[in-house]
Amino acid sequence: MNTSSGNEQRDVRLSKLERIRAAGINPWPERFVRTHTLAEARALPAGTAGVRVCGRLMTMRVMGKMSFATLQDQSGRCQISVQCEAVGEPFYKEVWKKLIDLGDFLGIEGEMVVTKTGEPTVAAKSVQFLGKALRPLPEKWHGVQDQETCHRQRYLDLTMNRETMERFLLRSRVVSSTRNFLDRHAFVEVETPVLQTKASGAAAKPFFSHHNSLDMQVTLRIAPETWLKRLIAGGFDRVYEFARCFRNEGMDPSHLQDFTMLEWYASYWNYEDNMRFTQALLQHVIQESLGTLLLTLRGRAVDFSGEWPRVSFRELILKDCGIDIAECKDADALRAAVRAKGIALPEEEIRALGFGNLVDQLYKKVSRPALTGPVFLVAHPIELSPLARRNDVAGELTDRFQLVVAGWEIVNAYSELVDPLDQRQRLEEQARLKTGGDDEAMEMDEEYLLCMEHGMPPISGFGMGIDRLVCLLSNQDNLRDVVLFPLLKPQA
């Protein structure tokens, strides 16, 4: 619909609004007592009286003194019928036929009937305005198909495209099921700061801002990790947070700069305990949210039942490109191996990254896209995991796992590093890399080290991108399609 046409229709509806008010009708009343959602009403037996439903008017067929229309609410749609005799001739002729438009919100009281075609219908005895729409909805047969419109005007996307509503209801079920499972297993939900003095808890580029009252630079949280582990040090046994996180990095279909992360930490667990719990939780959540563990995701058949396999970082990369990262003693040696194999990585990244982040880029290039999963990726190089516990047998590796499904990393978890001396050494190395140009390396965090020196128990932690999980489970290709209001540049 072009802008001029939309403005003309708005003018027509404004004139109707004046007539509605002149007739003594409030176009935006304060409330309506509903007895049933539309889906509940459809399930009622014929003859049920006193049914009060409400929703947005989506279709309307006026046939003399009898009309049929369709209302829509969160639960779905239901047909209504409006007869001149039932609602009164003045209302039917002057209000229903002349002043009501598609997109208006209406409240209906009436009796359930079944039409000759077998359609459950609320036969209206009264119709009430609940919200006058001053702009028309998009053309009903095509809905909202333009992706940018779906992202900018999500309310229209939700109204016109039922699959969008179902997708966000799935997201809600996933979060609710996860939260309930954690609560039942003695985890405590907490909140940690978004504004921080140091970017800590992950290897990522932060967003910066300025705190006027304290006159200092702050960063937006890139992860809640170090704060949650402070709580474990303080005596909490198990904690979790659905944390909004912010990383000032590139955008692609599987990455957004602001996203929702679930992180948890459990005292006295190691990463093996955490792997078992992760599998149990996700199998429960997927079964409860979708009703099955056998899914087709991104064109691949994925079976979440049974025991999930495990593969080491070294084995995977060696199989996929012939490079043995265990034989590359530093970043220079790995860079040489990558170039010798003719593997195309951005030259600027190859020059600037330290060994750990370079290994990660290599894995993402040659291995991750081919993983169907669910598969646990284990035995990460220590340089890639500055906050993970060093393996007791192989000191160059960490006790860490990632869960990969259909080529997407869904979970990152490990046995936490609780040795403050080892942690200091690793943070010093991260700070050196940052000074050398690795923007994703971590900063020194003396306040966190102070906490560690007061003592920590054994801990295993877990991080999972909620947006990414829902995107995968709903078979979407872009995280923006599972975020209600993704950040967009303002329109010119």
Does residue 59 fall inside a structural domain?
A: yes
Q: Are residues 261 and 193 in the same domain?
A: yes
Q: Tell me, what's the pLDDT at 354?
A: 83
Residue 51 and residue 18 share a domain: yes
pLDDT tops 90 at residue 353: no
Residues 127 and 23 in one domain: yes
Burial of 296 by CB count in 10 Å (0-12 exposed, 13-18 middle, 19+ buried)? Answer: exposed
- Is the same domain home to 22 and 116? yes
Residue 141 has what pLDDT?
52
Alpha carbon distance 267, 278 (integer Å)? 15
Asked whether residue 129 is assigned to any structural domain, the reply reads yes
Lowest mean pLDDT of 255-264, 341-350, 407-416, name the range: 341-350
**Which one-letter DSSP state was computed for residue 70?**
E
Q: How confident is the model at residue 349 (pLDDT cuts 50, 70, 90)?
A: low
8 Å CB contact between 139 and 476: no
The span from the CA of 342 to the CA of 60, in Å, is: 63
Residue 90 pLDDT > 60: yes
Report whether pLDDT(110) > 70. Answer: yes
**Is position 179 within any domain?**
yes
Examine the pLDDT at 350 and tell me if it is beyond 90: no
Phi, psi (rounded to 5 degrees) for 177:
-65, -40
pLDDT higher for 445 or 307? 307
How distant, in Å, are the alpha carbons of 294, 341, 378, 472 from that of 88? 54, 82, 72, 52
pLDDT at 202: 79
Inter-residue contact 127 to 25 (CB < 8 Å): no
Give me the mean pLDDT over the 382-389 stretch: 80
Q: What CATH number is given to the structural domain containing 249?
A: 3.30.930.10
Q: Determine which helix (DSSP H) or strand (DSSP E) holds 470, and give its type and residue range.
A: helix 466-473
> Which residue in the block uniquely carries the two structure tokens 């304060």?
30
pLDDT reported for residue 3: 60
For the stretch 112-151, pLDDT in tens is 999 999 999 999 999 999 999 999 998 765 567 788 889 9
Nearest to 332 by CA among 361, 364, 354, 357: 354
Lowest mean pLDDT among 248-257, 264-273, 295-304, 479-488: 248-257
Query: pLDDT above 90 covers what percent of the chain?
Result: 74
Residue positions counted in the chain? 492
Write out the E strands in 74-172: 76-83, 105-114, 120-131
Whether residues 52 and 201 share a domain: the answer is no
Residue with tokens 């995977």: 316
User: Residue 126's pLDDT is what?
Assistant: 98
Residues 157-212: pLDDT tens digits? 999 999 999 999 999 999 999 999 999 999 999 999 999 998 888 778 899 999 99
Tokens of 322: 């012939």
- In the DSSP assignment, the letter for residue 84 is H
- Domain assignment of residue 318, yes or no: no
Query: Assign residue 156 a region: left if phi > 0, alpha if psi is -120 to 50, beta otherwise?
Result: alpha
Residues 10 and 123 in one domain: yes
Q: Given this model, what pLDDT does residue 355 score?
A: 85
- Check: CB of residue 357 under 8 Å from CB of residue 384: yes
- State whether 193 and 292 are in the same domain: yes
Residue 1, pLDDT above cutoff 50: no
Domain harbouring 105, CATH code: 2.40.50.140
pLDDT at 140: 63
| Cα Rg, the chain, nearest whole Å | 28
**Does 128 share its domain with 177?**
no
Asked if the structure places residue 475 within a domain, the reply is yes
Whether 349 is in a domain gets the answer no
Confidence band, pLDDT 50/70/90 cuts, at residue 343: confident
Same domain, yes or no, for 236 and 133? no
Q: Are residues 107 and 168 in the same domain?
A: no
Q: How does pLDDT run across 460-490, given as a tens digit for each residue?
A: 999 999 999 999 999 999 999 999 999 999 9
Number of structural domains the chain divides into: 2
Q: Which of 111-115, 265-269, 336-340, 465-469 has the lowest mean pLDDT?
A: 336-340
Residue 197 counted as domain residue: yes
Do 110 and 179 sit in the same domain of this protein?
Answer: no
Do residue 97 and residue 197 come from a single domain?
A: no
Q: Which domain holds residue 132?
A: 3-137
- Residues 27-77 have pLDDT tens digits of 999 999 999 999 999 999 999 999 999 999 999 999 899 999 999 999 999
Which is more confidently placed, 405 or 6? 405
The proportion of the chain whose per-residue pLDDT surpasses 70, expressed as a percent, equals: 97
Decide if 250 is inside a domain.
yes
Please say whether the beta carbons of 264 and 223 come within 8 A. Answer: no
